[in-house]
Structure 1
């Protein structure tokens, strides 16, 4: 299939839920045929704050390090735009549920084009900031919640990495991104089932990560007690058989 063709390609995943095994091939279309590009801003960190404001801003650095791929605004720590800049935001620049925000620059090939999907915005005003590309669904063929996993799939990630350009800093343009091919099931129910399955796994991973963090803190506390403090020769905590040693 040529780069500019949106013709349907016979594509069926190796693993499929039983109720969709006879649903036919997935659709394959260019990103530019499914999403439209929206305005972003180039405000630096010193033009943002974490104290107050009426508009929140997604910085590309937060996509790389902090934000979940399925972005729910009440679960994330996102800075505000300084009030002096709020009036300069165009109405068409605000994020909507189902939008995808991608980082268009990275020092690491694994992170170039890393994306988050705006799943829940809670009625708040949110914009896409420095070194990001913001795309919005042209229609609702991609259901909210599925987009995050679609853009994180190996096939999509590989295409973005191959298109990235640069030496020390990699970048990808809107034109390059528009040519990336996306494969998705045409039936919304199948997209929802996939998203629900993967989000359930994400929740398990998150809970396990919390347990690991708690164990690390417990270990740290034990080490502080099992070894003598500075200026002391006996630890505060000792196994019973060695307390008289």
Structure 2
């Protein structure tokens, strides 16, 4: 599919040039630009070889996780030399289907400067166009933007070596619809702040659960006792 066709079909199917909600300072900014992933990125083919990097795997919905955390050890073995080397803000697409992400999961390397991922079921790419902010693309992929695009191209029941089977050109043809770089950065910053607030509330909830559990142990008598360790003053 040519880029012109992608642009035309994208405008019809996704129906977006200007979003319903915009930050005040961007209300008079130009319409969002439509391109495709292949125009703003390049595929990563660098192999680990004899160099030693931390080995990563993707957990759908979570992201790139060291193999030692996921499996308790590194599982690369002899295949490690063929692992793909990725750097901070690079993306790794795990083509394995899960219930939550049936078209696979794309994750950005954020917590490490450099790492390596299996070459068998991973496609790795780097955003090379400086007008596009990797963090905002990461939010799109986390919300399965790629899945809505790729599902019509994936062969039903078709798998190759345990991964989804489709022509990789459809990944590069995926339309990317975003505003200018300053607005991208503003949106990504806002979403990051929201994530941080959610994480803080989650930690607060877990602390309250532990506090409640500790209180319950003290408010009820232990085995063999008739009164609890803690009672209300009255």
Q: Compute the TM-score of the two structures, normalised by the length of structure 1.
A: 0.70
Q: Deviations over 1:67-98 (max 9, x none)?
A: 4xxx7xxxx766385797597257xx321233
Equivalent residue for 2:57? Answer: 59
Q: Structure 1 residues 36 and 132 mapped into 2: Cα distance closer, same or farther (>3 Å)?
A: same
Aligned-residue Cα RMSD (Å) equals 3.6
Find the residue that maps to 1:94 and give its secondary structure. strand
Equivalent residue for 1:25? Answer: 31
Equivalent residue for 1:96? Answer: 87
Q: How many residues align?
A: 216
User: Is 1:235 equivalent to 2:228 in the alignment?
Assistant: yes
Deviation at 1:23, TM superposition (A): 2.2
- CA distance in 2 between partners of 1:82 and 1:171 (Å): 22
Q: Structure 1 residues 234 and 171 mapped into 2: Cα distance closer, same or farther (>3 Å)?
A: farther
Equivalent residue for 1:47? Answer: none
Counterpart mapping for 1:1-245 below 5 A: 5-7=5-7, 9=11, 11-39=17-45, 54-60=52-58, 63-64=59-60, 66-67=62-63, 79=68, 88-89=81-82, 93-110=84-101, 112-119=103-110, 121-122=112-113, 125-129=114-118, 131-153=121-143, 155-164=145-154, 166=156, 171=164, 173=166, 174-185=168-179, 187-241=180-234
Which sections of structure 2, spanning at least 5 residues, go unmatched?
A: none
Deviation at 1:2, TM superposition (A): 6.8
Q: Deviations over 1:166-194 (max 9, x none)?
A: 55988364344233222111x21111111
Q: Compute the TM-score of the two structures, normalised by the length of structure 2.
A: 0.72
- CA distance in 2 between partners of 1:233 and 1:40 (Å): 69
Find the residue that maps to 2:5 and give its secondary structure. coil
